[in-house]
Amino acid sequence: MSRVDVVMPQMGESIAEGTLAKWLKKVGDEVKRDEPIFEISTDKVDAEIPAPSGGVLAEIKVPEGQTVPIQTVVAVIETEQGVGVSATGIGATPTPASVAAAPPAPTPKPQAPPPPAAVPVGAAAPPAAKPQPPSPDSETADERLRRRSTPLVRKIAADQGVDISTIPGTGHAGRVTKKDILGYIEAGAPAAGGAAEAAGAAPTPRPQAPTPGGAGVWEAAPWPGDRVEAMSRIRQLTSEHMVFSRRTSAHVTTFYEVDMTRVARLRAGNKKGYEERGVKLTYLGFIVKAVADQLRRHPVLNAAVQRTAVIYRGQVNIGIAVALDWGLIVPVIRGADELSLFGIAKAMADLADRARTKRLKPDEVQNGTFTITNPGVFGSFAGTPIINQPQVAILGVGAVERRPRVMVLEDGSEVVVPRTMTMLSISYDHRIVDGADADRFMSDLKQELEDFPENGV
């Protein structure tokens, strides 16, 4: 129930008051909206005034014959629930009316449906606010969408024999989009996680190698006092990938110590300029740039093995391993060979930031052709990283620090000087990369870093 004021209307711009000439209804009468309920007389015009709302005339405040200023409340109508809801409803009286169903039908700007519904809702259609599809298992629209996605995705799933519910979705309400399912299929299915979940370890074919020694998987057993924790999905994927990689590639690691003094100087000199442009300039940035250059000159390091064939990748997509609280993830800088140092630094910062905030897209953790890992950031002198399948090489960057180095002066004498040094280690797949290939690559890489061009910053 609500009370609606009936006021003395302003019948013309210059009119300031009106006389209530006659009541057409009495207290207790039912009135319909727009039905005349009293007559007024003003100096310009006499008129019948309609009820602003349907209901019951509850109170008369101004008797016949009295003159009052405009906007004075002359009566009160009490409305009932749901009564007097007009069809058009625009600027309608404030009927408390139920209207549970109809979302404001007259709301101009009928835009798109979207709350959860996969059902496109027209302005006046009932479903809107809380759609509970009356299915026996009372699945919500969001759940249904997550399970069944859209016609196109269902079609692709059916054609490829893929179960939609196993694919991480990045669409509305977490549903699987066309991009998600196509990316999933391209990545060879099961092991690849979606990016949004930071499922990390790149696209891996499922390790099919049978476990050694037939009978079953050997596993550790807990003792009293141990704490057993189930692996997270990303942990499982990483775990599987690591052994798979070791079993697949013939890993060899070789080490090159690189004098980073020049790079350090260039970095110090240009850091501020970069920061002004919103980008952090790091040692790793220089290394990625040099690697991108050298991969073009040593394509066998930017390749993959397909049984008895070598695939020389057309793109140079460099993955940078990022250690997150919840696991390892390798976002990829696509087309790194086409970027300047600035472009690379910018891409690195952006990917790292989004990796930490779980905002990577699926195609940003896929299709890498070479990986760089940075154990040095934790202080390690050098590492022996495991190759990120299906690539054939991975570069580890050791700690960058001041170390003594023997240098030969012009006159042939030797001196020991402190220089900024780092140990680079490269693990490569000896199935297709020979020591000489790796060494030539590393040698050129070392040279580029030690002679990094001024104008390349």
Q: Does the footprint of another protein cover residue 213 (CB under 8 A)?
A: no
Q: What gap in Å lies between CA 333 and CA 335, rounded to an integer? A: 6
Q: Considering only residues 12, 36, 114, 456, which one is a binding residue for another protein as defined by CB under 8 A?
A: 114
Pick from 337, 330, 367, 371: which is nearest to 351 by CA?
Answer: 330
Number of residues that bind another protein (CB under 8 A): 26
Q: Does the footprint of another protein cover residue 159 (CB under 8 A)?
A: no
Q: What gap in Å lies between CA 346 and CA 138, rounded to an integer? A: 47
Q: Does the footprint of another protein cover residue 361 (CB under 8 A)?
A: no
Stretch that binds another protein, among 113-121, 219-227, 230-238, 255-263 (CB under 8 A): 113-121
Distances (CA, A) of 147 to 89, 155, 186, 212: 39, 13, 21, 37
Looking at the chain, how many residues does it have?
457
Distances (CA, A) of 423 to 32, 259, 373, 399, 439: 89, 9, 12, 7, 14
Q: Does the footprint of another protein cover residue 106 (CB under 8 A)?
A: yes
426: Cα within 13 Å, side-chain hemisphere? 28
Q: What gap in Å lies between CA 123 and CA 133, rounded to an integer? A: 19
Q: What gap in Å lies between CA 421 and CA 366, rounded to an integer? A: 32
Q: What gap in Å lies between CA 74 and CA 68, rounded to an integer? A: 9
- Which residue lies nearer to another protein by CB, 120 or 418? 120
Stretch that binds another protein, among 147-155, 250-258, 361-369, 389-397 (CB under 8 A): 147-155
Q: Considering only residues 107, 160, 165, 239, which one is a binding residue for another protein as defined by CB under 8 A?
A: 107
- Which residue lies nearer to another protein by CB, 154 or 235? 154
Q: Considering only residues 28, 87, 100, 111, which one is a binding residue for another protein as defined by CB under 8 A?
A: 111
- Which residue lies nearer to another protein by CB, 114 or 404? 114
- Which residue lies nearer to another protein by CB, 108 or 379? 108
Residues with active-site annotation: 430, 434
- Which residue lies nearer to another protein by CB, 159 or 226? 159
Stretch that binds another protein, among 70-78, 169-177, 314-322, 406-414 (CB under 8 A): 169-177
Q: Considering only residues 152, 243, 250, 268, which one is a binding residue for another protein as defined by CB under 8 A?
A: 152
Task: Please give the backbone phi and psi of residue 27, each rounded to the nearest 5 degrees, phi first.
Answer: -60, 135
